[in-house]
Structure 1
Amino acid sequence: MRVVNRVLKLCSSSSSSSCSTVTELTRNLSTLLHNFTSITTNPEPISNKYRTRSRSRSPLKGRRKPSKAATCLCHSLGVLNNIEDGSVDRVLNEWISTQGKSFNKDDILVSVDYLRSRNKFNHALQLLEWTEKRSLIWLSNREHAIYIVLLGKTRGVEAAEKYFAELPESAKRKSTYGSLLHCYCFKKMTEKAIVLCEKMKALNFPLNSFDYSSLMTLHMKLGQPDKVALVMKEMKEKGIKQHIYNYKLLINSYASLNDINAVEKVEEEIKTVRSIVPDWNFFCNLSAIYIAAGFLEKAELNLKNVEKLKLYDSRPFHFLLNLYASIGKPEEVYRVWQSLKSAFPKTSNLSYLTMLQVLSRLEDMEGLKRCFEEWEPHCLSDDVRLPNVLIKAYLKRDMIEEAKLLLDRTLKKGCEPNFATYVLFIDFFVKIHDMDLALNYMRVGTSYVKNPERKMYIEYVSMFQKYCEERNDVDGAEEFMTLMQDAVSLDPVVRDIDASLRDEVDTFSAKRLSKLFHYGTISDDH
């Protein structure tokens, strides 16, 4: 997902510039694609080149059909954001005690798969831990393998190694070794990966497509995209069946090398491999690559391929909206938006947020206001990220009064802002060199700092400290430190930030600080 979002950001800033812009975009592919992870209505008949068998499954399809209770719980867990340890436990315990629901093993494992598919690895791990503590399921080698991967992603390789070491010898099989190899490759632990591969060979555990995809990922992370093709060649020579993930990584490696001809050849090869059925994120990834390279017609063709698949959730629609915007097709954006709302009548906040962000990128102010007005009276729950998009658009156009009115309306509704809300105003007043008003918004915003905003907050603290120093503004510096002391006494998050400021705040260079003044918003991750 990250690669597509970063491609979109580059594309939106380039607008309709010359060939040099396309060259610059393709030159950036090596940086964009090595971090790629999977990015998770029938306009015309599907081409015969691609099979109609789609593996864009319902996220809840699994071994057996999950119970209605498990399906409902799965979605309840899926909407939890930035949870701390124990959150899933509380939800599950409440579910059991108040509703008397019970689960079979398939329900639990399907729910784990669902959460993993949405990159909610901590949720999935806590669900497995909760069931294991209560001895609700017996973990097979497959579940042990999943456990290891989840530990590696959430608590680090050492936790994964410890879990693996404590497994009984009977559970140290091909799947669990493969998961540990995945952890090593994901964290660029080359030596450990080599040693483990040798041990797997000695144990007569042949590498499969999952293991080879881990090695491909390692090469991409090490900045060695040229070696990915060699890994794929070895797979073919050994007769190892390729998976769609192997082809995704191969395509990304060629894109990193700016070899679009090779990307096209792989795309054609996939059409001839009967065992490979491209899914929606494959087509979206390919479309993003073509957009970055300036091949907009090819990009649009792949977006049409996405629309020919049976789509079970809103994620592919979100990427269609963004990617159609990137190729300058606002009419397609609106068409996909109507399709999304038809497919999901209870349209989520995330879908509205995606559409608002897309309209903002398209500079469609009228459409942006209409979409917000459509969402506001029918919103399923308050989410400050949505008004933030419109506030940012107003401030970008120097419509300060409209932005203030929207903030007031949002607060009166009981929707709690975040620090990023006030950053929008801070940036605006910094831009027009009104530091007093910027500091006022900093003062108010301090009480809304949350853990995910720690880094952004420290950067703004550094900015104001630097400003006071440069102006020899003793009164301003004292006022700012008083503000910090008040915030520290009230909020444990800010208290933690204050403790880290002494070590971190001086690490920001003058060059970085000057960028804060010049470019405005530091981060949109809120």
Structure 2
Amino acid sequence: MCLCPRNQGLSSVTARICSGKSEIARGYVDNYRAGHIETEEKQFEGLISSARFYNAFSSSSKSCSDVRYFSSQVGATSSGEENDDSEGGFSEPETPQNAVKETITSLDENDDDLIPESELSQEEGVDDDMQKELEPLGTEADKGEKKSSKNKGISSLSKAILVNPSLPLSKVLNKWVEEGNEVTQLEFALTMIYLRRRRMYLKALQVSEWLESTKHLELEETNYASRVDLIAKVQGLFKAEEYIQQIPESLRGEIVYRTLLANYVAVSNMKKAEEVFNKMKKLRFPITCFSCNQLLLLYKRTDKKKIADVLLLMEKENIKPTSFTYQVLIDAKGQSNDITGMEQVVETMEAEGLKPNSHIKVTLARHYANCGLKDKTEALLKEMEGDDIKKNRWVCQYVLPIYASIGKEEEVERIWEVCKSNLRYSECMSAVEAWGKLKKFEKAEEAFNKMVVKKPSAKHYSVLLKVYVDHKMLSKGKELVRKMGESGCQIGPLTWDALVKLYVGAGEVEKADSILEKATTQTKMRALYTSYYCILDKYARRGDIHNAEKIFLKMKKAGYTPKLTQYQTLLQAYLIAKVPAYGFSDRMKADNVYPSKTMAFRLASAESFRKSVLSELLD
């Protein structure tokens, strides 16, 4: 599937289809033209060819409004380039929306909305700690009262699962039914929401398997789609695809496939995501706002030039953008340091009657800060705070690190004082990050120690560990990891990533490589993208072709689809070692990666290292 036309394709297609396109689409198309680099010609078969689609887009607007109620950023994704925000959370699609609207809203308010799901899904020990993030760090006497009040909203089936953690889940569920409880879609949905919010995906999958095997309910498409998502999370995408073939054909619809699409987007697998989208087209499913948003999210990470084509498709099919659509576009502009373009997207959004939500405001503030626009950053942060920061307490955790980014130590101190009156885990973590950015390490450690009053998870340790990583404080980092082990924290991908960067920063790339190898071998968990790339980059800078190729291969085996950046880094090893990169272009083509002008020049430079046939024979 080619979503982005090569050579002349975009110009002609744009002229035919988008004479009346919106300013936002025009901006992305014009940017594409301005930065377009010719590569091998690929046929433009992709999105803008909708003659096959029947006139069923009455559901498009519904999909837009309901998008938050079913999957988005699902699965354990990588970090770094691929660690991005998600389109809402995964509230169980089985949920009758009117019946549990208040429950979903309540859960959303207690979720750490702006932390990417990709980060959360790979945390160590998050199942027990998920609800701590916005929970006050009060006294033990307060704890019991708060716990009992929180449990009021838990379904009876969820309670049964939590009360019997050591028993096989099937026995717990069968006993619950024998006690006279009725399995309904509502009860099942509330239970799945509860388990998902705590990232207890394995238990959620077991509940789903039990429901299908016992036939207590007549399953709907959304039930099957939920199962696909959970299999992808727990067992992998290959197993999820296999399971889809077992679903009755009448229930193997658009929701099932868009769930699979979202999972491939979650791991930034562009090739497979496009294959799934083409499959949906072939099956004549309607194009929904959800699927388009997923493609936008994918291309924001992997190939921003293709964003224009999705926008043209949405306009052609009269699919109205949602707030999330604009959030992705704003972030894409910000990542390219195109502040003018970013602000134009906001203007377009407001002209369409949509006001920037808190997610978007935080995104704008971060990009203003990254571009050194201190006045704009501070003005937006003050707007977010409102007249009384104590009444807008939720803002604290987000503004702390942004104030630190623009060097506003006094503002960090002011916000931190507000937080101290009734500390929350999320605010402590933000304070650690903020003080670290300001190089106030003692204050960062003080904020961290306030979290240790209760049993912290590895996620909480990782924030201080990142501070040590960023400032190459190897001895302190090693000591902190030792304390993590002693505290009983399960150490996983986030911690490995920090350790890798610590050792690479200290020049000990072999040690970093060894740690990552042992960790992935012993746990069978997938390391983050940035962990591999950090080691690859270091080996490449040394001209160590053997080890660079080894890491490149490990990234592929781990499921990270090769991108131009990885190939550029790998080629650097050959150039520094002054060794010809035989078959490099063919390798890239096989992975559907096409060279930029810079890459083409470097490939040509590598050709100069080729020896004559006679020289090679003599060697």
TM-score range with shorter-chain normalisation? 0.5 to 0.7
Q: State the Cα deviation string for residues 440-473 of structure 1 (Å, max 9, x = none).
A: xx9xx99xx86669899999xxxxxxxxxxxxxx
Map 1:405-420 onto structure 2 (within 5 A). Answer: none
Aligned equivalents of 1:409, 1:34: Cα separation in 2 = 29
Aligned equivalents of 1:426, 1:279: Cα separation in 2 = 34
1:193 aligns with 2:273: no
1:142 aligns with 2:205: no
TM-score normalized by structure 1? Answer: 0.55
Relative to 1, partners in 2 of residues 1:145 and 1:168: Cα closer, same or farther, differing over 3 Å? same
User: Which of 86, 89, 103 is matched with 1:38 structurally?
Assistant: 86
The one-letter code of the counterpart of 2:241 is E
Who is 2:359 aligned against? 281
Relative to 1, partners in 2 of residues 1:181 and 1:291: Cα closer, same or farther, differing over 3 Å? same
Contact 1:228 1:253 in 2 (8 A): no
1:210 aligns with 2:328: no
Aligned equivalents of 1:60, 1:114: Cα separation in 2 = 11
Who is 1:260 aligned against? 339
SS at match of 2:155: helix
Who is 1:475 aligned against? none
Per mean C-alpha deviation after superposition, the further-off stretch among 165-174 and 249-258 is 249-258
SS at match of 1:240: coil
Aligned equivalents of 2:80, 2:458: Cα separation in 1 = 30
Contact 1:115 1:121 in 2 (8 A): yes
1:296 aligns with 2:378: no
Map 1:211-230 onto structure 2 (within 5 A). Answer: 211-223=291-303, 225-230=304-309
The CA RMSD measured in Å over matched residues stands at: 6.0
Aligned equivalents of 1:172, 1:122: Cα separation in 2 = 23
Q: State the Cα deviation string for residues 1-30 of structure 1 (Å, max 9, x = none).
A: xxxxxxxxxxxxxxxxxxxxxxxxxx9xxx
Aligned equivalents of 1:311, 1:118: Cα separation in 2 = 28
Aligned equivalents of 1:312, 1:97: Cα separation in 2 = 46
User: Which of 358, 362, 375 is matched with 2:434 structurally?
Assistant: 358
TM-score normalized by structure 2? Answer: 0.48
Indicate the structure whose relative CO is greater, using CA pairs within 8 Å and at least 6 residues apart: 2
Who is 1:236 aligned against? 315
Contact 1:213 1:245 in 2 (8 A): yes
Who is 1:347 aligned against? 424
Who is 2:542 aligned against? none
Relative to 1, partners in 2 of residues 1:305 and 1:165: Cα closer, same or farther, differing over 3 Å? farther
User: Which of 405, 408, 414 is matched with 1:329 structurally?
Assistant: 408
1:389 aligns with 2:464: yes
Relative to 1, partners in 2 of residues 1:453 and 1:210: Cα closer, same or farther, differing over 3 Å? closer
Map 1:42-191 onto structure 2 (within 5 A). Answer: 57-59=105-107, 68-70=153-155, 105-113=185-193, 124-133=204-213, 135=215, 137-183=217-263, 187-188=269-270, 189=272
SS at match of 1:250: helix
Aligned equivalents of 1:410, 1:234: Cα separation in 2 = 49
Relative to 1, partners in 2 of residues 1:354 and 1:239: Cα closer, same or farther, differing over 3 Å? same
Relative to 1, partners in 2 of residues 1:126 and 1:282: Cα closer, same or farther, differing over 3 Å? farther
Contact 1:34 1:221 in 2 (8 A): yes
Ranges in structure 2 where 5+ consecutive residues have no aligned partner: 1-34, 36-78, 89-103, 111-149, 534-569, 574-619
Contact 2:416 2:431 in 1 (8 A): yes
Who is 2:328 aligned against? 249
The one-letter code of the counterpart of 2:279 is L
Contact 1:67 1:107 in 2 (8 A): no
Contact 2:334 2:364 in 1 (8 A): no
Identity %: 21
**Structure 1 position 209, deviation (Å):** 0.4
Aligned equivalents of 2:282, 2:469: Cα separation in 1 = 60
Relative to 1, partners in 2 of residues 1:132 and 1:194: Cα closer, same or farther, differing over 3 Å? closer
Aligned equivalents of 1:311, 1:159: Cα separation in 2 = 48
Relative to 1, partners in 2 of residues 1:194 and 1:247: Cα closer, same or farther, differing over 3 Å? same
Aligned equivalents of 2:393, 2:430: Cα separation in 1 = 11
Contact 1:89 1:126 in 2 (8 A): no
SS at match of 1:59: helix
Q: State the Cα deviation string for residues 198-245 of structure 1 (Å, max 9, x = none).
A: 3243xxx3211002113323434541x133133224323432232222
Contact 1:88 1:126 in 2 (8 A): no
Aligned equivalents of 1:96, 1:163: Cα separation in 2 = 24
**Structure 1 position 166, deviation (Å):** 1.7
Ranges in structure 1 where 5+ consecutive residues have no aligned partner: 1-26, 41-55, 78-85, 460-507, 512-526
Aligned equivalents of 1:310, 1:113: Cα separation in 2 = 31
Q: State the Cα deviation string for residues 310-358 of structure 1 (Å, max 9, x = none).
A: 999998654433323222233333444455566xx4734x653443343
**Structure 1 position 284, deviation (Å):** 2.3
Relative to 1, partners in 2 of residues 1:168 and 1:379: Cα closer, same or farther, differing over 3 Å? same
